[in-house]
Amino acid sequence: MTANREQLQQVPDIGAVVAESIYVFFREKHNLEVVDKLIAAGIRWPTATDRNTGSLPLAGKTFVLTGTLTSMSRDEAKEKLQALGAKVTGSVSRKTSYIIAGAEPGSKHEQALQLGIPILDESSFLELID
């Protein structure tokens, strides 16, 4: 609530436009009153932890999951990747490092092929996270 624009932009995935919106939001009296009422009513937000992911093996890599994995759910795969420092997104872009393709991959697989993004099958993914 007290962060300036520059501090907000240090948060992953927060750019100048979103930082400005957040900054302006918390400068409006009505919004602060609503937040104060929520706190008074017992609403609590988890405390953010500053986790140094730079030393993790997949730090700086972005993954997209597509298709069905047989060894685990996609949520489990996402958690394993994040625990190793990776970012997991729902859409393919030029910033995507790898696609993990399970059975019957969809349009994300096609996008990855068009963009030349490396595609890992499930066995390659399992080797990567071991």
Same domain, 82 and 25: no
Mind listing the pLDDT tens digit for each residue in 84-101? Answer: 989 999 889 988 999 999
The reply to whether 74 and 125 lie within a common domain is yes
d(C-alpha 62, C-alpha 127), whole Å: 17
In a domain, 57, yes or no: no
- How high is the mean pLDDT of the chain? 89
Do 34 and 70 belong together in one domain? no
Domain enclosing residue 20, as ranges: 5-40
Nearest Cα residue to 85 out of 36, 52, 42, 123? 52
Answer whether residue 24 is part of any domain. Answer: yes
Confidence label for 6 from pLDDT (cuts 50, 70 and 90): confident
Q: Same domain, yes or no, for 34 and 71? A: no
100: exposed, middle or buried (C-beta count within 10 Å: 0-12, 13-18, 19+)?
buried
Planar angle of CA 110, 115, 119, nearest 5 degrees = 60
User: Is residue 46 in a domain?
Assistant: no
The reply to whether 91 falls in a domain is yes
